Structure 1
Amino acid sequence: MPQSEDHRLVDLEARLEQEDPRFTRAMRSGRPARPREYRRTGAWWGLALGVAVLACGIALAQGLLIAGGLVLVGMAAQLADPDPARMAHRGFGRR
């Protein structure tokens, strides 16, 4: 491999290490992990919390809890959206 291509690969590896260190550590150990843009655990927890707050708001007839629950559900749904075209607009698809 010519020196210029080695330099490009080293540069790519350094940028990837800076962006997602967990992913690069997993690749080095031979046990791949999902890249950051495909990890949605926090979004699912946010969705569960939003539904719980919304249910409490409905049960207690409190408009502020209902509004807060709807906002949390909307935010979590936006984060859990698996559409890659939308991820490109959020900055994940940029080079």
Structure 2
Amino acid sequence: MDIPGLILAPVLVLYAILMSILFFYILNLFYLALLGWKKRDSLLATAKPRPADLPRVTVQLPIYNEWYVSARLIDSAARLDYPRELLE
């Protein structure tokens, strides 16, 4: 009876199965990357939503003992790229 062969055969079969799964996974990854590369222009050129489609939002600024960042936070909130009539 060949003991090393009995141990090595299942290990090699498991290794081959795992490598084939990994191969198809990487092949699928390259396929998806190629599709994304071909359609990158259409993906980047998305239209902005109309103001009628945007929800009304409330901007809350949680400030507690924030002496150093409160001015920057308020300035950033004032410069939001969102329609003013939809801000509460």
TM range (shorter): under 0.3
Determine which structure has greater relative contact order: mean sequence separation of CA pairs < 8 Å that are 6+ residues apart, divided by chain length. 2
TM-score normalised per structure 2: 0.28
Greater share of helix: 1
